[in-house]
């Protein structure tokens, strides 16, 4: 990785103005459709929650081992709704939802009267 790749990645929108309490909304900076996804790490052995971090595009546990049982294996669990207890352990990942415009076809039908132009959609 050279220095130019680092600066090229900095130009991408980080969607910082997207509110955390919305499930899906548009980014006010770039206009892309963003979905907020919450993830929690749990110990594979005893199942207690461990603080999660987002590092290099992956969701990892903040600690290297479980303080309860000493296990080194963790499971990442996606949470549909976040509550006030889990917010200390959870990590928020803002993912871009690509619109599927290949399935939509629009045609304009011009009738004899120019005031009555109709939109015909076909999916």
Task: Determine, yes or no, domain membership for 32.
Answer: yes
Element (H, E) at 69: none
Read off the pLDDT band of 81 (50, 70, 90). Answer: confident
Report pLDDT digits (tens) over 34-74: 999 999 999 999 999 999 999 988 999 998 899 999 999 99
Dist. CA 100–CA 83, nearest whole Å: 32
Q: How many domains does the chain have?
A: 1
CA distance 87 to 39: 10
**3 lies in a domain?**
no
Q: Whole domain around residue 78: which residue ranges?
A: 13-122
Residue pLDDT, tens place only, 103-123: 656 665 556 665 655 555 555
17 contact partners, CB below 8 Å, separation of at least 6: 27, 28, 29
């Amino acid at each position: 990785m050279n220095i130019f790749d680092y600066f090229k990645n900095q130009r991408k929108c980080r969607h910082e103005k997207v509110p955390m309490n919305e499930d899906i909304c548009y980014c006010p900076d770039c206009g892309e459709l963003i979905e907020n996804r919450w993830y929690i790490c749990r110990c594979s052995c005893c199942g207690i929650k461990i603080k999660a971090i987002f590092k290099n595009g992956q969701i990892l546990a903040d600690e290297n081992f479980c303080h309860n049982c000493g296990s080194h294996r963790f499971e990442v669990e996606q949470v549909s709704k976040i509550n006030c207890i889990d917010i200390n352990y959870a990590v928020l990942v803002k993912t871009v939802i690509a619109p599927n415009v290949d399935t939509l076809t629009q045609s304009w039908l011009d009738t004899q009267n120019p005031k009555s132009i109709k939109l015909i959609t076909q999916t």
